[in-house]
């Protein structure tokens, strides 16, 4: 049973490390398929090399596995810790270089070390034939992988945060090393010392919270004339800003959204859907309308109320993926605010497609309005910016576009569309055929 327990721990922690690595990459390079697929590929390559390496071991089986578990536990506990990953991506530029170092120096060594476990321990299994031994070993390893990926992502990250998941994975490996070395108390000191290092590396400051979806931080700001201004950061990006004034001072793009909704459109006693909660500042001290927030992270409301708003959120909160909600709900709204983009690296690709914008339109009442806060280059000159705007207008027709920080490379871009708008063929005026004088009075030429 000892061998099966060790193999189970290997499966649990190896796939757990991969899941944690993918989560740690989200604030820095996003979670798109072009990030996740290569990461999984590198992990599997290192695992395959580990299988081949373990198959060559002919003696010292248990000490070899104990050493591998010890090294993998230290690498996972320190290398997957939030501060380590943040320092790596802060000081190594471009982000691609930091990504390659992270995968090559942290994730792949873990996979290589743990990949040796099954081939090595198969030599110690006493069965009637080799197939039975390897089959049972792979069974316990794969069972551990299944439970590790499920429990760490669905339970540990959701309830306790990513740092606890990292510590759990690393401590599991160190426990395996301790089990294999328990008869030699001098050798047992190394896993215990490594466990202390892991716990220290994954100590999270009280002002921060890391969940399965994002890292959150609340930081004080030094802004003259404001009362205790503070910043709500999500995955290292400025998500929201507020102070204790009445009315509160908020981020510029929130002020732009509120001015349009409340002053220009004169919305009163209306139902407003907000996709992406941020810091819940759009409805903060705003009693004139009814707000419904949809965000994929179920923990964000309590974090914002406790550390950022320092009071209850005004409005209903639904923990759900934004696209799934607008595609399935039967509710209808007078305004839809899309605020799911915290930075360009974290823009979910399934929330910029034509199908998403069509789904957002289906939840609007006939005279409804859509307002989207996009993160684009300030000149709107890149192919990405042009394609995002073209995609929106392919559903809503012509929309208003306001760039807020024109002097910056990347800016908040507020796009305003109406439910009654319709896409139309593009046309230009020329000296040869110029119906401008008629069309400006509403007369349409064929």
DSSP letter string, 119-170: HHHHTT---SSHHHHHHHHHHHHHHHHHHHHHIIIIIIHHHH-HHHHHHHHH
Mean pLDDT score, 39-64: 93
Token pair, residue 205, equals: 């400051």
CA distance 221 to 198: 32
Which pLDDT belongs to residue 176? 93
Which residues is 210 bridged to in the sheet?
215
Total residue length of the chain: 446
pLDDT at 210: 80
Please state the rounded mean pLDDT for residues 324-336: 96
Query: Which three-class secondary structure state does DSSP give residue 366?
Result: strand
The answer to whether 7 and 140 have CB atoms below 8 angstroms apart is yes
Residues contacting 275, CB < 8 A, separation 6+: 294, 322, 325, 326, 336, 337, 338, 339, 340, 360
- pLDDT, tens only, 186-195: 667 888 899 9
What radius of gyration, in Å, describes the C-alpha atoms of the chain? 27
Q: Which pair of structure tokens corresponds to residue 237?
A: 């990006």
> What is the rounded distance in angstroms from the CA atom of residue 295 to the CA atom of residue 279?
11
Torsion of CA 8, 14, 19, 24, to 10 degrees: 140
For the packed helices 82-91 and 61-79, what is the interaxial angle rounded to 10 degrees? Answer: 70
Q: What distance in Å separates the CA atoms of residue 248 and residue 121, rounded to the nearest whole number?
A: 63
* DSSP class per residue in 274-303: EES-TTS-TTTT--SSEEEEEES-TTHHHH
CA-based nearest residue to 311, from 337, 288, 279, 278:
279
Q: What is the pLDDT of residue 127?
A: 59
Lowest mean pLDDT among 21-35, 179-193, 364-378, 402-416: 179-193
Residue 392, both tokens = 């929106």
- Distance CA(232)–CA(249), nearest Å, equals 13
| pLDDT at residue 167 is higher than 90 | yes
* 420 phi and psi angles, rounded to 5 deg: -85, -5
CA distance 444 to 435: 9
State the residue for tokens 């995968």. Answer: 103
Q: Quick check: 345 pLDDT over 80?
A: no
Residues 6+ apart with CB under 8 A from 338: 275, 276, 322, 351, 360, 370, 371, 372, 373
With a cut of 80, say whether residue 128 has pLDDT above it. no
Say if residue 224 is exposed, middle or buried (CB neighbours under 10 Å; 0-12, 13-18, 19+): exposed
List, in order of start, the domains of the chain with CATH numbers.
Answer: 2-204 (1.20.1250.20), 221-418 (3.40.50.150)
Calpha distance 116→112 (Å, rounded): 7
Confidence (pLDDT) at 420:
87
Spatial CA neighbour of 181 closest among 17, 73, 72, 69: 69
pLDDT at 253: 92
Q: How confident is the model at residue 365 (pLDDT cuts 50, 70, 90)?
A: very high
Q: Is the pLDDT of residue 207 over 60?
A: no
Q: Does residue 344 register a pLDDT over 70?
A: no
pLDDT in tens, 264-273: 999 999 999 9
The mean pLDDT value for 60-65 works out to 90
CB 291 within 8 A of CB 339: no
Query: Encoding tokens for residue 144?
Result: 């551990």
> Residue 323 has what pLDDT?
93
Residue 291 β-bridge partners: 272
Band the pLDDT of 122: cuts 50, 70, 90.
Answer: confident
Check residue 186 and give its pLDDT. 63
Structure tokens at 423: 């896409």
Instruction: Tell me the torsion sign for CA atoms 213, 215, 218, 224.
Output: negative
Instruction: Identify the residue with better confidence: 238 or 319.
Output: 319
- Mean pLDDT of the residues in the chain: 89
What pLDDT is attached to residue 294? 96
Maximum separation of any 2 CA atoms in the chain, in Å: 94
pLDDT band at 133 (very low <50, low <70, confident <90, very high): confident
Distance CA 156, CA 139 (A): 24
- Beta carbons within 8 Å of 438's beta carbon, 6+ residues apart: 445
Confidence of residue 440 (pLDDT cuts 50, 70, 90): low
């Amino acid at each position: 049973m000892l061998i099966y327990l060790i193999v189970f721990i290997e499966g649990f922690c190896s796939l757990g490390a991969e899941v944690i690595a993918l989560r740690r990459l989200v604030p820095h390079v996003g979670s798109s398929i072009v990030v996740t697929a290569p990461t999984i590929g590198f992990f599997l390559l290192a695992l395959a090399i580990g299988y081949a390496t373990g198959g060559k071991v002919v003696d010292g089986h248990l000490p070899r596995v104990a050493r591998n578990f010890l090294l993998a536990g230290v690498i996972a506990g320190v290398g997957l810790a939030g501060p380590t990953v943040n320092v790596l991506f802060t000081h190594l530029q471009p982000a691609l270089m930091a990504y390659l170092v992270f995968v090559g120096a942290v994730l792949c060594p873990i996979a290589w070390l743990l990949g040796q476990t099954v081939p090595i321990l198969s030599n110690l299994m006493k069965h009637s034939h080799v197939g039975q031994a390897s089959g049972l070993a792979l069974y316990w390893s794969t069972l551990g992988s299944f439970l590790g990926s499920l429990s760490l992502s669905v339970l540990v990250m959701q309830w306790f945060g990513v740092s606890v998941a990292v510590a759990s994975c690393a401590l599991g490996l160190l426990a395996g090393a301790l089990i294999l070395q328990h008869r030699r108390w001098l050798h047992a000191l190394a896993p215990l010392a490594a466990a202390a290092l892991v716990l220290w590396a994954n100590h999270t400051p009280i002002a921060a919270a890391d969940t399965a979806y994002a890292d959150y931080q609340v930081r004080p700001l030094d802004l003259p004339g404001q009362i205790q201004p503070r910043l709500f950061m999500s995955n290292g990006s400025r998500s929201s800003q507020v102070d204790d004034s009445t009315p509160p001072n908020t981020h510029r793009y929130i002020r732009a959204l509120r001015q349009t909704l409340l002053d220009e459109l004169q919305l009163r006693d209306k139902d407003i859907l907000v996709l992406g909660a941020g810091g819940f500042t759009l409805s903060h001290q705003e009693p004139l309308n009814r707000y419904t927030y949809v965000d994929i992270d179920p923990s964000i409301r309590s974090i914002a109320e406790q550390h950022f708003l320092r009071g209850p959120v005004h409005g209903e909160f639904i923990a759900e993926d934004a696209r799934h909600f607008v595609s399935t709900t039967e509710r209808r709204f007078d305004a839809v605010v899309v605020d799911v983009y915290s930075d360009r690296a974290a823009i979910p690709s399934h929330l910029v497609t034509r199908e998403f914008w069509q789904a957002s339109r289906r939840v609007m009442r006939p005279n409804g309005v859509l307002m989207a806060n996009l993160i684009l280059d300030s000149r709107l000159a890149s192919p990405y910016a042009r394609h995002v705007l073209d995609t929106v207008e392919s559903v809503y027709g012509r929309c208003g576009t306001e760039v807020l920080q024109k002097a910056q490379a990347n800016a908040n871009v507020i796009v305003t569309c109406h439910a009654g708008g319709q896409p139309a063929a593009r046309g230009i005026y020329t000296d040869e055929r110029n119906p401008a004088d008629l069309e400006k009075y509403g007369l349409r030429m064929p």
